[in-house]
C-alpha cells in the first residue's frame, strides 16, 4: 500500500478484470488482513470497503452512515446537484424523514399479499418465454428468459408499454456498468437524457389518461400535495424500473449457473421442488446479484474496527464478501442448496432493505422451478472459463449464459 495525501492507494488488484471474473479470493484476503479497507475506486474516488459480515451489518444499520450526499453541500450546490441527478431523488438515496415518506408511497404495491397475487401472471409469462425457445433446444438464458421475465412484470406493474422494455435494458446496463472511462461517461450522459425524455413523455401521457397502474398512482400522489415532487417522481419511477429487474436477472442467472456447475444439486432440486426456498437463499448468499451496496457517507467521524472513518468519507459494503464470511457461515465457499434459512445480506439490512425482495424471490422461484420441470436436461452450452461477468461495481451478473436442453 502507498499513501497519497494521507489516503491509501491500493495495489491489491481490486476491480481488475481478474477480480471481476472471481472476486472471492480477494475478498477472503481482505477479510483476514484488512477488513475495513480504504482503496481507490475505478471512478477515481477513495472509498472504505467493508468486507466482514458483522461490520457490514453495523454500517447498513447505523444512521450515521447516510445516503443523501447533499447533506454536505451548500444550498446553491444542492440546487445544481438536483438539476442534474434526477435518478437519486428516491428512497434508496435518501435518509429519514424523506426516506420514510418516499418508501411509504410505493410500499403498498409490494406487500406479500399483493406480490402473491402476481403468481399466476408470472407463471403465464414464464411458460410463454419457454414455449418460444423450447423447439430450438438451446438459448442464451439471459436474453431469452432471465431478462424478459422481470422486465415484463415490472413494466406491467408500472404501466410501461412492454414494447419499450429493450430500451430499459440499454439504459439500465449503461447506468449499472458505468465506469470512469471518458467515452463511457459520454455514452452514459446520452442514455440518461434519453431515459429522462422517455419518462417525461410517459408521465405526460398518464397525467392526461390515468390507468390502474403504479405510475398513475404516483402522479396522483404528486398532484395531491407535497408528498412527491416532480424530481422525486422521476427518481422513484427510474429506481423501480432499474431495480425492478436488475436484481432478479442476476438472481435467476447466477442461481441457474450454480446448479449447472453442481449437477447433483440440480438433480436434487428436480427430484424435490419443495426445497426451492432453501435453494433461492443459497443463490442469494453464494453468488449474490448485488456485489456492493450503494453509496454511503459518514455524517461524522466514526471508529470501526480500529479505523477512523472521517466525516464525509465514502463507504460501501462488499455484500458478496460478507455473505462468504466463515465467521457467519459454515463452509462459505461451498454451494449447498440445502443450507436452509440464511442470514445473508443480499437484499441489504436496516431501513434500506430491498423493497422488491418478495417480488424477486417469487419471480426466481417460479422461473427456476418451471425451467427445471420443463427442461430437466438443462446444461451449460459452453465452458465455464468462456463466461464473462459484467463490469461495474454494483451488480454481479454474467453477460451471457448459453444453455442447451
- Evaluate the omega torsion of the peptide bond into residue 97 and state whether it is cis, within 30 degrees of 0: yes
What's the CA gap between 368 and 269, in Å, rounded? 10
- pLDDT at site 7: 43
What's the CA gap between 153 and 246, in Å, rounded? 12
Least confident of 107-111, 181-185, 300-304, 351-355: 181-185
- pLDDT at site 226: 56
- pLDDT at site 159: 92
**84 confidence band (pLDDT: 50, 70, 90):** very low
Q: Which fold has domain 2-404?
A: Cytochrome p450 (1.10.630)
**242 confidence band (pLDDT: 50, 70, 90):** confident
DSSP, collapsed to helix, strand or coil, labels residue 213 as: coil
CA angle 56/179/161 to nearest 5° reads 90
**80 confidence band (pLDDT: 50, 70, 90):** low
Provide long-range contacts, Cβ within 8 A and 24+ apart, for 115-120: 115/358, 115/359, 115/362, 116/362, 118/153, 118/157, 118/359, 118/362, 119/362, 119/366
- Which cell is 185 given? 461517461
The span from the first CA to the last CA of the chain, in angstroms, equals 49
Instruction: Give the tens place of pLDDT for each residue, 277-310.
Output: 999 999 999 999 999 999 999 999 999 999 999 9
- pLDDT at site 202: 92
Residue 88 has pLDDT above 80, yes or no: no
Residue 82 has pLDDT above 70, yes or no: no
Instruction: Give the tens place of pLDDT for each residue, 111-135.
Output: 888 899 999 999 999 999 999 999 9
Helix (H) and strand (E) counts for the chain? 17, 12
For the chain, which residues make up each domain, given as ranges?
A: 2-404
- Are 286 and 338 within 8 A, CB to CB? no
Q: Which residue has the cell 412527491?
A: 228
- pLDDT at site 8: 45
**220 confidence band (pLDDT: 50, 70, 90):** confident
Contacts of 157 (CB under 8 A, 6+ apart): 109, 118, 213, 214, 240, 244
Residue 41 has pLDDT above 90, yes or no: no
- Are 256 and 141 within 8 A, CB to CB? yes
In angstroms and rounded to an integer, the radius of gyration of the C-alpha atoms of the chain is 21
- pLDDT at site 74: 62
- pLDDT at site 381: 98
> pTM for the full model?
0.91
SS3 content of the chain, % helix, strand, coil (to 5): 60, 10, 30
Instruction: Give the tens place of pLDDT for each residue, 145-163.
Output: 999 999 999 999 999 887 8
Average confidence (pLDDT) over 96-102: 92
Q: What is the mean pLDDT of the chain?
A: 89
- Which cell is 31 given? 477479510
**15 confidence band (pLDDT: 50, 70, 90):** confident
Nearest CA to 104 among 263, 269, 246, 217? 217
- pLDDT at site 234: 87
Q: Residue 97 CB: number of other CB atoms within 10 A?
A: 8
What's the CA gap between 348 and 34, in Å, rounded? 22
Amino acid at each position: 500500500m502507498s499513501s497519497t495525501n494521507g489516503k491509501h492507494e491500493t495495489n491489491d488488484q481490486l476491480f481488475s478484470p481478474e477480480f471481476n471474473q472471481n472476486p472471492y479470493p480477494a475478498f477472503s484476503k481482505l477479510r483476514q488482513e484488512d477488513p475495513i479497507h480504504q482503496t481507490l475506486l475505478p471512478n477515481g474516488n477513495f472509498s472504505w470497503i467493508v468486507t466482514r459480515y458483522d461490520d457490514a451489518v453495523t454500517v447498513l444499520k447505523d444512521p450515521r452512515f447516510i445516503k443523501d450526499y447533499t447533506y454536505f453541500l451548500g444550498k446553491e450546490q444542492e440546487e445544481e446537484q438536483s438539476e442534474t441527478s434526477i435518478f437519486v431523488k428516491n428512497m434508496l438515496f435518501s435518509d429519514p424523514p424523506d426516506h420514510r415518506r418516499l418508501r411509504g408511497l410505493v410500499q403498498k404495491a409490494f406487500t406479500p399479499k399483493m406480490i402473491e397475487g402476481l403468481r399466476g401472471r408470472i407463471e403465464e409469462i414464464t411458460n410463454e418465454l419457454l414455449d418460444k425457445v423450447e423447439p430450438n433446444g438451446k438459448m442464451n438464458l439471459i436474453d431469452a428468459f432471465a431478462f424478459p421475465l422481470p422486465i415484463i412484470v415490472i413494466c406491467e406493474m408500472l404501466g410501461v408499454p412492454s414494447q419499450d422494455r429493450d430500451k430499459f435494458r440499454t439504459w439500465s446496463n449503461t447506468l449499472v456498468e458505468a465506469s470512469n472511462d471518458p467515452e463511457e461517461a459520454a455514452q452514459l450522459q446520452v442514455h440518461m437524457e434519453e431515459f429522462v425524455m422517455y419518462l417525461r413523455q410517459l408521465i405526460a401521457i398518464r397525467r392526461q389518461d390515468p390507468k390502474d397502474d403504479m405510475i398513475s398512482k404516483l402522479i396522483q400522489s404528486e398532484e395531491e400535495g407535497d408528498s412527491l415532487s416532480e424530481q422525486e417522481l422521476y427518481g422513484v419511477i427510474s429506481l423501480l424500473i432499474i431495480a425492478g429487474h436488475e436484481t432478479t436477472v442476476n438472481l435467476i442467472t447466477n442461481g441457474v449457473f450454480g446448479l449447472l456447475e453442481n449437477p447433483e444439486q440440480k438433480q436434487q432440486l428436480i427430484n424435490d421442488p419443495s426445497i426451492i426456498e432453501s435453494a433461492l437463499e443459497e443463490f442469494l448468499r453464494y453468488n449474490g446479484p448485488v456485489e456492493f451496496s450503494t453509496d454511503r457517507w459518514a455524517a461524522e467521524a466514526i471508529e470501526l474496527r480500529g479505523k477512523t472513518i472521517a466525516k464525509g468519507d465514502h463507504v460501501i459494503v462488499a455484500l458478496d464478501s460478507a455473505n462468504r464470511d466463515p465467521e457467519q457461515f459454515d463452509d462459505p465457499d461451498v454451494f449447498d442448496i440445502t443450507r436452509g434459512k440464511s442470514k445473508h445480506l443480499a437484499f441489504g439490512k436496516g431501513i434500506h432493505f430491498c423493497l422488491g425482495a418478495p417480488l424477486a424471490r417469487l419471480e426466481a422461484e417460479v422461473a427456476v422451478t418451471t425451467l427445471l420441470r420443463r427442461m430437466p436436461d438443462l446444461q451449460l452450452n459452453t465452458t465455464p472459463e468462456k463466461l464473462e461477468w459484467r463490469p461495474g461495481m454494483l451488480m454481479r451478473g454474467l453477460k451471457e449464459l448459453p444453455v442447451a436442453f
